[in-house]
Structure 1
Amino acid sequence: TEDSFSDGGQYLDTADAVAHGRELVAAGADIVDVGGESTRPGAVRVPADEEAARVVPVVRDLAAAGAAVSVDTMRAAVAEKSIAAGAHLINDVSGGMADPDMARVVAEAGVPWILMHWVSPDDFASGAGGAAHAGSDVVADVIDHLRRRVDAAISAGVRPEQLILDPGLGFAKTAEDNWELLRRYDELALLGYPVLIAASRKRFLGTLLDDGAGPRPASGRDHATAAISAMAAREGAWGVRVHDVAPSADAVRAAAAWRGQARRGHQAPSPKGER
């Protein structure tokens, strides 16, 4: 996208995006996540046809090259076209709230569906920064919300084994909210579903690494991201979503070895795979 907080404008061209996706696979990515609109705080939504035009050709070319591809979209129509082009996983930051038809698409296709904690559609446009959890237990709030999203998905015909949960680090949460969710990962895991941790380069890491001159910019947050990856893997997370693959791939392998589980090379994990 033009306005991604991390790499806006670098991969707008289809050929550039496909080449970057192949580089990510070569660096150790199990799944390449392709998105056509930014979800950074304050981002403005792009028209559905523009999102599809950005995403579908990239999905088709990466899938043809043998990559496992997920699609980061809140629109059922974009998800449906992407699945037809070869995508095998839908990463929906709205948790199914933005488009009521998403559950039907996922149920009919039988693909895995990542449901992220999202407070309300208004947070996407406003870039809300934590007020939604003022005075409350953020972990309890997130668990309650995700439980309701799971119930809604299953009621719509999605099989439980298709679901992966994401606590939504950085979405309408303070830095302390994010750390509390990570500290209490075990409570998220008690929901009984695979968990995705998406902390890469996010603002709360920049705040942590503030050296007095201000928060560290996104480009300087990859070492902290790899540390989060190692700890998430050690806790048993299903996956981590990152920008700089190689350090986190190494971290995940080291964590697997620590747990006594050999992990050589890389492979796309199934939703109910090793946890």
Structure 2
Amino acid sequence: MGVLNRTPDSFSDGGRYVDDSAAGRRIDELCEEGADIVDIGAESTRPGSEPVPPKEQIARLGSIVREASKRIPLVSIDTTSPDVAGWALDQGASIVNSVSLDPAAELGALCAHYDAALVLMHCRGSMAAMPGYSQYDDAAYGDVVADVTREWSAAAQRALDAGLLPSELLFDPGLGFAKNARHSLELCARLDELCNLGFPVLVGPSRKSFVARAAAPGGLGSKSPLAPPEDRLGGTIAAVLACIERGASVVRVHDVRQVRQAIAVFEAIEGTGTDTGTGTGTDTGTGTDTDTDTPTDTDTDTDTPTDTDTPTEGRAHA
């Protein structure tokens, strides 16, 4: 899932794609780099950001959702507003990506009506209050995996009760949202437990501050300055691969080409490691054999694993 922000204030690329021509070029880039999904948002979800009224979100989006739907089969709208989500689904979007559990019932009913998929992300509180949660002493969890699972499952049930099919619901644990770095890292480390719920898991570690904190000289407790978002690619890839190994189905990233390459090499290594043949010319992904690419990547990357369906299959997608 490649990111396109139509916002002036997003933490990573705010202001870069508010112009229609720049946004169009970005969509083409994401498609060329191998994105299966383009996720478009008009409201920043950076810590400390204020809500954007639905009418303003729609004005910011303009014609870009419809244009994106002409270029890639799966377009996601990043919003918590049922009004914006409904408008985007009318424009050709097929996924609603909500960074709040609060509108689960409304969005579940809406997605059921449109036969669309819904990503529900775990989060506590508002974006305006988020800076406090991201500090080490302020995000209060007992067992973060158990707490996130319990709170997300309650919201998921509201969406299902509203008519959404289980096959159309994705679980995003909300890395970096109302969580400190240790919480986000633990969610990555124990992602297999989240996958056991039976819903496809989407993760968004891209350029997050927990990545920079983990990579900082001196480790998590260090007071060293954090690398800026654009310098967090290496850590992002490490988090992506760790999550894929533990069962993530979709990864939301800014740097699609680099992440795609990392996933391809990772899967080739994994496939080679499980092959039982030695020196027979039938090895998977090495030497001059005639085997196909990676053990699980057989589609042409123009969509999700099932092409026109929603991203519910096992292979991770950028």
Taking the aligned partners of 2:164 and 2:247, their CA distance within structure 1 comes to 24
Taking the aligned partners of 2:156 and 2:231, their CA distance within structure 1 comes to 35
The corresponding residue for 2:280 is none
How far apart are residue 155 of structure 1 and its match?
Answer: 0.7
The corresponding residue for 1:234 is 245
Taking the aligned partners of 2:76 and 2:270, their CA distance within structure 1 comes to 27
DSSP-derived class of the 2:236 partner? helix
The corresponding residue for 1:109 is 114
The corresponding residue for 1:167 is 173
How far apart are residue 258 of structure 1 and its match?
Answer: 3.9
How far apart are residue 227 of structure 1 and its match?
Answer: 1.8
What's the TM-score, normalizing by structure 1? Answer: 0.93
Higher mean displacement: 63-72 or 251-260: 251-260
- Please give the per-residue CA displacement for 1:233-268, whole angstroms capped at 9, x wherever unaligned: 222211110011111111222333344324255242
* In the alignment, structure 1 residue 263 sits paired with structure 2 residue 297: yes
What's the TM-score, normalizing by structure 2? Answer: 0.81
Taking the aligned partners of 1:136 and 1:194, their CA distance within structure 2 comes to 25
Native 8 Å contact 2:107 2:118 kept in 1: no
1:129 aligned to which of 127, 133, 148: 133
Taking the aligned partners of 2:241 and 2:303, their CA distance within structure 1 comes to 18
Native 8 Å contact 1:30 1:68 kept in 2: yes
The aligned amino acid for 1:61 is E
The aligned amino acid for 1:228 is A
Taking the aligned partners of 1:42 and 1:25, their CA distance within structure 2 comes to 31
The aligned amino acid for 1:175 is A
Native 8 Å contact 2:211 2:235 kept in 1: yes
Larger Rg: 2
How far apart are residue 206 of structure 1 and its match?
Answer: 1.4
Over 3 Å counting, the alpha-carbon distance change for 1:151 and 1:132 in structure 2 is farther
1:182 aligned to which of 188, 193, 196: 188
* In the alignment, structure 1 residue 219 sits paired with structure 2 residue 225: no
Taking the aligned partners of 1:49 and 1:206, their CA distance within structure 2 comes to 35
User: Pairwise mapping of residues 131-170 of structure 1 onto structure 2 (< 5 A)?
Assistant: 133-134=139-140, 136-170=142-176
Native 8 Å contact 1:233 1:255 kept in 2: no
The corresponding residue for 1:64 is 70
Over 3 Å counting, the alpha-carbon distance change for 1:56 and 1:110 in structure 2 is farther
* In the alignment, structure 1 residue 191 sits paired with structure 2 residue 194: no
- Which segments of 5 or more consecutive residues in structure 2 lack a partner in the other structure? 1-6, 218-222, 272-294, 305-309
The aligned amino acid for 1:263 is D
Native 8 Å contact 2:80 2:98 kept in 1: yes
Larger RCO, structures 1/2 (Cα 8 Å, 6+ apart): 2
How far apart are residue 190 of structure 1 and its match?
Answer: 1.1
Native 8 Å contact 1:68 1:88 kept in 2: yes
The aligned amino acid for 2:228 is P
- Which segments of 5 or more consecutive residues in structure 1 lack a partner in the other structure? none
How far apart are residue 129 of structure 1 and its match?
Answer: 1.5
- Report the identity percentage: 38
